[in-house]
Amino acid sequence: MNFLVGSYEAKTKLPELLRGVQSGKHYTITLRGEAVADLVPAQGHKRSGAATAAENMRALMRSRQPVAGVDLKALIDEGRA
């Protein structure tokens, strides 16, 4: 079931809404009567995408040979001047 919640109410009752989300409820947050955001259980949507991206990056880094003669630490420190 989806509940409509105004932006002011969402701001003032966020902890209560989050408890509702934990129990499986879905909320649509409105601004002046127009839907602007959905508050739904995470179910790992973004986490699984981020975890996949991180693993892909690690695999790419393992598959490449280091560039000879490049001091990565020195390059990083140079950027912090």
* pLDDT confidence of residue 81: 58
* Domain segments of the chain as ranges: 1-64
For residue 20, what are the contacts with CB-CB under 8 A and spacing of at least 6?
A: 3, 27
- The whole-number pLDDT of residue 12 equals 96
Any bridge partners for residue 4, and if so which? 28
Kindly state the average pLDDT of the residues 51-60.
88
Q: What is the pTM of this model?
A: 0.52
What class has domain 1-64?
alpha beta
Confidence band, pLDDT 50/70/90 cuts, at residue 45: low
